[in-house]
Copies of this chain bind each other. A is one copy, B any other.
Amino acid sequence: MTATTGLRVLVVDDHDVVHWGFRLLLDRQSWVESCDGAAGLQEAVEFAANLRPDVALIDLMLGADSGAEACSAIREVSPNTKVLLISGAGRISPAVARSAGASGFISKDWGAADVVKAVRMIALGSEVFAEGGPGDSVGLSDREREVLGLIATGATNREIAGNLFLSPHTVKEHTSAIYRKLGVRNRAEAVRSAQGLGLLG
């Protein structure tokens, strides 16, 4: 639905449990085409060079290696790969993560659904830098919030258009923007997400 073609994901983590956990989690998503894993920096760079993954999930504590290093190394051999850094215990400043070329930074204790959503948002071009937790300030425009409210009432795009005196196509563009910003695929999930974020009454 979002994905015209599935995403290729690379998981880099030296702990087998984490590593396989993510792979099982992501392989289950219909928009994930393939999900491979690497245990160390060298292996990760090889994979990245060959597979050109869309997203790389990199653990910050890569044994002897640093996650930030791995991030730079991967983006050197595969510049189109978006990197999502994952912290176990330690913290990292968004600035450091950004300068390493990462598109996002999350904590390992996020729920599975939120991690999955973060991967999707990054693949779609958003950045995810967690300060306090998932879903801080999504930054919908006024119009988008208005459309979102009508979506939640079950209105079709045509009805929304009639209500707001717009063309149905413009409404679709707003909905697309909403989905992108919320990291969501469709109306139903958008409503759920919006409720969780307190964007709806």
Contact = CB atoms under 8 A, between A and B. Distances in A.
A152 B191 CA distance: 8
Consensus secondary structure, chain A interface? helix
A89 interface: no
Q: How many copies does the complex hold?
A: 2
A175 to B, nearest CB: 10
Contacts of A184: 154
A65 B185 CA distance: 53
Nearest to A185: B154
A154 B189 contact: yes
B153 A113 contact: yes
Interface in A105-125: 113
A27 interface: no
Nearest to A163: B28
A186 B187 CA distance: 9
- Most chain B CB within 10 A, of A156, A185, A188, A191, is at A188
Interface in A158-201: 159, 162, 184-192, 195, 200
Closest 7 A/B residue pairs (Cβ): A154-B189, A187-B188, A191-B191, A152-B192, A154-B185, A195-B195, A188-B191
24 contacts: A30-B156, A30-B159, A113-B153, A151-B188, A152-B189, A152-B191, A153-B189, A153-B192, A154-B184, A154-B185, A154-B186, A154-B188, A154-B189, A154-B192, A187-B187, A187-B188, A188-B188, A188-B190, A188-B191, A189-B191, A191-B192, A191-B195, A192-B200, A195-B195
